[in-house]
Structures are given as C-alpha cells and as structure tokens.
Amino acid sequence: MNDAEFLKAYNASRNGTDNFYRHWAVHSFAYSEGVRECANEGIAWLVDIAATELPSVIRKVRENLATLTVVAKDGWARLSLTGSGDVPVPQSKPWVKRIDYTDLPAGEYNFLIADEGGEFRMVLVTEY
C-alpha cells in the first residue's frame, strides 16, 4: 500500500459524491467515489467485509445510518460498528472484527453506511 496515496484519497476535501459503484458480489451494496479511490489504494478488503457482513447486522437492528470505524496500529486493525446515536451495533453484542494483518497506515478511519430501504451505501465522512 502506498500510505501517502491512501491518506490523500481518504482526507481529500469533498462535497458529496456524484457516483456510486455496486459491489461485485453484493449488488445491494454500493460505495462512493471516495471509498472507491481508497479501495484502489489498498482497502478493497475493507469494502468486501463491509458489503458481505454489515448489511445483515444493520438491517437486524433497524439502523438507518451506521459508522464503521477502523483502528489500525502495529500491522493489525480493529473494525467496529456504531449506530447513529454512537451506540454499538447491535447493543447486546457489538459487531467487532479483528484483522490480524494489514498494511493500512496507523490511525483511525471512519466510514458511513446508510440503509436506504434495503440498498446500502458506503461513503467517506467527508462525502456525507
């Protein structure tokens, strides 16, 4: 991963998004231009996890907007999901996933996932 290019894509100043791209395997899941740029710089694995695991979790707890937080350090990452009220999703047993190896630069990264009536959209916070 080229850290500088990933951070440039993640931190770019944006004003919404014009296009969404359907996930190759989960057609009800789409992601924004900013997320696509970040995926192209090395986090396609994160988009795949979000598309394949999170819609059922978000749908089950009836959240319209959730935040996927990725905390990376020392070559591993922790993914967690919170609802619109900063409440872990689901409340009884929060969705958390550990990634034992990643070349993601150390730091905290947030992505928003919206449930739009069964269609899911993943965007960068700066695109919201």
Pick the closest to residue 97 from 112, 86, 81 (CA basis).
Answer: 81
What percent of the chain stands above pLDDT 90?
A: 77
User: Which H or E run contains 54?
Assistant: helix 44-61
- Give the pLDDT of residue 60: 85
Confidence band of 114 (pLDDT split at 50, 70, 90):
very high
The reply to whether the predicted model has a pTM over 0.75 is: yes
Domain 3-127 has CATH 3.60.15.10: no
Mean pLDDT confidence for 100-128? 95
Q: Quick check: 10 and 109 in contact, CB under 8 A? A: yes
Does the pLDDT value for residue 79 go beyond 70?
yes
Question: Domain limits of the chain?
Answer: 3-127
